[in-house]
Amino acid sequence: MIQAHRIADDATSPTIDGRLDDAAWQAASSAQGARQLAPQRGEPATEDTQFYIVYDRNNLYVGFRCYDSEPEKVINRLGRRGDIFPSDWISFYIDPHHDHRTGYTFATTPGGIQSDGYRYDDTNSDRNWRGIWWVESHIDDKGWTAEFKIPFANFRFPEGQDQVWGFDIERLNKRKNEWTVWKQMTQAGVYTRMSDLGHAVGFSDIESGKLFEVTPYTLGGAAKTSGQDTDGQGAIGLDLQYNLTPALKANLTVNPDFAQVEADQVEINLTRFPTRFPEKRPFFVEGNSFFETPLDLFFSRRIGSSGDIVWGSKMTGKIGDYSVGLLNSQTGGTGLLELGEDQTQSEDALYSALRVKRDVLRRSNIGVMYAGKELDGAHSRVGGIDANIDFAKTYKLQGQYAMSFQDGPDSDNSALTLEFSQRNFLWETV
């Protein structure tokens, strides 16, 4: 367990420069004593890691001292965001709900490369999640250090005083191929389980910061062809985000523009099945994992594939032991707010998805799911019930029954999946 240090409202928060020389770090308690996950499982780390947790009303700060007896040999490669694995790296996992199921991961290298993700259902990971946060690193004669600043607005967390959050660290010394952790030494595999984290205590008087955020946009252009009138084009739209509670978020988008979203990587598909590209559009990425089920009943990339998105609304988060997700999106028409002569017709369709999941036992859940597409005079709907039961740390039973409903004779179908798996540190069986 580590005590998180509260920075007084009138005190100075750490400057994010990669050096642990601020007064807040000196006043905070630290923890160390990392142990190896590999190669000598359970043995003390040959190069220890010391870390601190401090916070103010709106931000979480985490500082690391990564000791290295040969600092000149610290491996530090250049790379894009998320490309940390060719280098030494330090990461931490945090479970603000302390539900032993969900959380977030943040990581960096000696060069300050950022990597983050969202964790759910204990071991599953959504690497498309992107937070807004800052980190700086510094190499010195003792090894290297790193400072993280993460606004609480990135998290979903319950209200209350003296909160306990799940917390753990992982570090890779690339030169020694040594992988170390603080607390989670489970036999359930090398993947970090949110149910095995240590604890950070003492979180009080914190706020998620932004309750309401509006991002409007305008686009305009004109084209002139000799002998013809000038052709004008334009569009306006907005994105709106509102935190109903620190754990429940609502989103609205009108005439969204995804032109700046990272392009998909080209893939050669020689099979008869369509390629499933990852979701990268911000409106759909936020909370996308809430709609995942064993049979994959909902695939958000289909929304907008055959028609421009006119508007979309979404609510995702947790209410007590329930995880909820509700999404609606309308495509088609000319776009409510498109201007000019270059208006395009597309498929008019209303997409909907509803997901409710109830936490049971320590690491298990049961849930229901509905997804539908409504067209003029036609529809396609699917619904199902699912369960994910973990027991004895290493065993998992997962299943789902679903039915689809479409127009036309003999168009209703059903599907059932049931999977039992066992995983320990050395193998996984399904």
Domain ranges of the chain: 2-203, 228-429
Express each pLDDT in 108-151 by its tens digit.
999 999 999 999 888 888 887 888 899 999 999 999 999 999 99
Cα dist. 7→13, 24, 25, 53, 136 in Å?
7, 7, 10, 11, 20
Question: What's phi and psi for 152, nearest 5 deg?
Answer: -60, -15
Calculate the average pLDDT of the chain: 87
User: Which residues have a Cβ under 8 Å from the Cβ of 315 and sit 6 or more positions away?
Assistant: 244, 248, 249, 250, 251, 324, 325, 326
pLDDT tens digits, 276-294:
888 888 889 888 888 999 9
For 2-203, give the CATH class: mainly beta
Q: What is the pLDDT of residue 342?
A: 47
SS3 38: strand
Q: What is the mean pLDDT of residues 392-421?
A: 86
Three-state SS for 269-280 is: CCCCCCCCCCCC
Closest CA to 58 of 211, 200, 248, 242: 211
Taking the model in full, what pTM does it have?
0.78
